[in-house]
Amino acid sequence: MRKCTKCGLPETYETIEFDQFQVCNICRQREHRDGSIDWAARHVMLDDMIEQYRGKYDYDCIIPFSGGKDSTFTLYYLIKKYKIKPLVIQFNHGFMRPNLLKNNERTFKKLGVDVLTFTPNFKVVKRLMLEALIRKGDFCWHCHTGIFSYPMHVAIKYQVPLIMWGEPSSEYTAYYDYRDDEIESVDETRFNRFVNLGITAQDMAGMINHDFDLDPRDLKPYTYPPTRDLKQLKYRSVCLGSFIPWDVKAQSKIIMDELGWQGDQVEGMPWDIYPYEKIECYMQGVRDYIKYLKRGYSRVTQMTALDIRHNRVDKAAADKLVAEYEGKRPPSLELFLGYLGLTEDEFNNIVLNTVVPPFKPDFENMQDAPKTWDFDLWYREEV
Amino acid sequence: MIGIVNYGMGNIRSVANAVYEQGFDPLLINNADDFSQATHVILPGVGHFKKAMANLEQLSLLTPLKQAVLTDKKPLLGICLGMQLLLSHSEEGDCAGLDLIAGDVRLFRDPKFRVPHVGWNNLNGVVKHPVLRGIPAMADFYFVHSYYASTASQHTLAQCEYDRNFSAIVGVNNIIGMQFHPEKSQKNGLLLIENFCNWDGLC
């Protein structure tokens, strides 16, 4: 596979392009971010925006919150720097880990915030996971769409127009390119461009019509609210990372030091080096495993790519980590197959249909990744 | 409410939908009385210049339209043929227009260029104006027209290059007109409609 000579991302990576030096566009937009964006001016924009919405509504803003490093930093930063009064919205995807729940309780109590948590029907979630896995090789549709649409419904219900997200997508992909020098708007266009995998809730209703008693209302949390309602609210939905340059490692350290936020072991990752990434979900290992089977890389590659762009690790050391950790079957696969009622062969055949060429997965000779400390605490379907 | 003049010249529904999606309430203006409820007026239009003027006259909409714009100072947006009607005269049917903006409407005649001018094209020489706020420099808009507006430079808010550089957006005081279709021009077109609906008519 062709790979970026700088960061190592392969040609199967979404939105990637290579220039004449075989350096990828994600690296190039990152160079633009650090060299050409006027961050002082962006910071003034943030100051003005916060003041524009302060004190006029039941809450100054809505902060969608998973409890991972990015949303925790966003909440911490906005409260510490601006003393805003937010409404924190948690969309429970169904697989929140024990350490995450502890982190969240600590964060909420230390910062002093109002929190709403929404947990959708798990029977519906499982059926959506199966459909999205079959259609796209990505079982996380309910989480992608729920995370990005549910807080918008809450914004309308509470009539709070400012919604503050954390990390801009330009850090990882080129759906929104830093070189366009625009503020990424977290809106329905973005939702349909990549968040929902090209599948709307209406599509889901049409596809799940033979083996499951789906009430049309079951899909409301995954449906983007009408643009008209958001426009009438005069909403503004943006990422904090469009106004301050995002730095996951530095920000993780801040929340660890200031809030006692704790990282965790994540299946398939080097635990000592990346304890802060994707600690929210105990299906993360399966997600990363499928990514590897489809595209020939996994989260280790993504994390080292970020660190290479920050000059925090050299390419040789990154390659070594990737070789050692990627492409191992996670223990959580067993639970996942239980939820969806699939055998591993059925799972492999489904994933095989969604492989991105030129990568070819090798299902034989697959090694197992080690269990994390909390593996035995995760929910299991009774057989 | 955002009044949309309904004078039998097409394109009403797509304009009304665009207004609605942007969070405003569209109101079809069918007769003189309807103008009183409208804070803003949109004059859409697809078809022949002379027929459009005749329809306005026949439906007794000419005088109340001018009154809403000139006396009551309601913001007016002309779209495509609706924009051409704002001018003094058109070659199409050799017909006088509303004469709200001095200028002529002429046929594209260069044989090297296909008529009508159809498709996406970008603007140049965009001036600062409340309705044009937030539009990126090289934004594309959707055009479909055989005639173009020729106005003095002080009434030209943006131009578009075809066989010549013609006036793509015209304006004076509380009046603005767009040769392209903002309601069919995706994100940037919808932003123009939103800006217009929020506009107080001052420049």
Average pLDDT in chain B:
96
CB contact under 8 A, B136 and A227: no
CA distance A189 to chain B (A): 9
- pLDDT score, position A180: 87
Residues 6 or more apart in contact with residue B146 via CB below 8 angstroms: B107, B108, B115, B116, B117
A383 pLDDT more than 80: no
Q: Is there a contact between A300 and A325 (Cβ–Cβ < 8 Å)?
A: yes
Q: Is there a contact between B158 and B188 (Cβ–Cβ < 8 Å)?
A: no
Q: Is there a contact between B176 and B131 (Cβ–Cβ < 8 Å)?
A: yes
Residues 6 or more apart in contact with residue A83 via CB below 8 angstroms: none
pLDDT in tens, A298-341: 999 999 999 999 999 999 999 999 999 999 999 999 999 999 99
pLDDT in tens, B111-149: 999 999 999 999 999 999 999 999 988 899 999 999 999
Element containing residue A46 per DSSP (H, E):
helix A39-53
A39 pLDDT more than 70: yes
Cβ-Cβ contacts under 8 Å, B193 against chain A: none
Phi then psi dihedrals of residue B89, to 5 deg: -160, 150
Percent above pLDDT 90 for chain B: 97
pLDDT in tens, A180-216: 888 999 999 999 999 999 999 999 999 999 999 999 9
Closest CB from A189, A230, A232 relative to B187 = A189
B11 pLDDT more than 90: no
Average pLDDT in chain A:
96
Pairing of strands B147-151, B76-79: unpaired
CA–CA separation, B15 and B11 (whole Å): 7
CA–CA separation, B188 and B139 (whole Å): 7
pLDDT interval class at A382 (50, 70, 90): confident
Residue with tokens 């005269």: B89
Q: Is there a contact between B174 and B75 (Cβ–Cβ < 8 Å)?
A: yes
pLDDT in tens, A55-67: 999 999 999 999 9
Q: Is there a contact between A84 and A60 (Cβ–Cβ < 8 Å)?
A: yes
DSSP, residue by residue, A192-250 = IIIITTT--HHHHHHHS-SSS---GGGGGGGSPPPHHHHHHHT-EEEEGGGTS---HHH
Cβ-Cβ contacts under 8 Å, B20 against chain A: 228
Q: Is there a contact between A143 and A93 (Cβ–Cβ < 8 Å)?
A: yes
Phi then psi dihedrals of residue A339, to 5 deg: -60, -45
Q: Quick one: chain A helix, strand, coil %, rounded to 5? A: 50, 10, 40
Count helices and strands (H / E) in chain B.
Answer: 5, 13
pLDDT interval class at B31 (50, 70, 90): very high
pLDDT in tens, B181-201: 999 999 999 999 999 999 999
Confirm whether the ipTM is greater than 0.95.
Answer: no
CB contact under 8 A, B23 and A231: yes
pLDDT interval class at B57 (50, 70, 90): very high
- The CA–CA distances, whole Å, from A362 to A243, A334, A347, B88 equal 43, 19, 14, 73
Q: Given phi > 0 = left and psi -120 to 50 = alpha, else beta, which region is B136?
A: beta
CA–CA separation, B71 and B174 (whole Å): 11
Cβ-Cβ contacts under 8 Å, B187 against chain A: 189
Q: Is there a contact between A167 and A246 (Cβ–Cβ < 8 Å)?
A: yes
CB contact under 8 A, A231 and B187: no
Cis check: omega of the bond before A358, within 30 degrees of 0: yes
- The CA–CA distances, whole Å, from A76 to A45, A257, A279, B93, B135 equal 19, 12, 18, 67, 34
CA distance B42 to chain A (A): 19
- pLDDT score, position B29: 97
B21 pLDDT more than 90: yes
**What is the three-class DSSP state of A268?**
coil
pLDDT interval class at A9 (50, 70, 90): very high
Mean pLDDT score, B63-70: 97
Percent above pLDDT 90 for chain A: 98
Burial letters B138-157, b for 16+ CB under 10 A, else e: ebbbbbebebbbebeeebbb
Task: Take residue A47 and report the two structure tokens written for it.
Answer: 């100051």
Which residue from A297, A292, A293, A262 is spatially nearest to A280, judged by alpha carbons? A262
A259 pLDDT more than 90: yes
**What is the three-class DSSP state of A77?**
helix
Whole-prediction pTM: 0.92
Cβ-Cβ contacts under 8 Å, A232 against chain B: 23
CB contact under 8 A, B23 and A232: yes
Closest CB from B21, B136, B187 relative to A228 = B21
Closest CB from B20, B136, B187 relative to A228 = B20
A32 pLDDT more than 80: yes
Q: Which residues of B are catalytic?
A: 80, 181, 183
CA–CA separation, A171 and A247 (whole Å): 10
Q: Is there a contact between A256 and A248 (Cβ–Cβ < 8 Å)?
A: no
CB contact under 8 A, A231 and B194: yes
- Does A117 contact chain B (CB < 8 Å)? no
Cis check: omega of the bond before B116, within 30 degrees of 0: yes
- The CA–CA distances, whole Å, from A304 to A252, A310, B68, B178 equal 16, 10, 63, 50
Output the furthest CA–CA distance in chain A (Å, rounded). Answer: 60
Which amino acid, residue A338? G
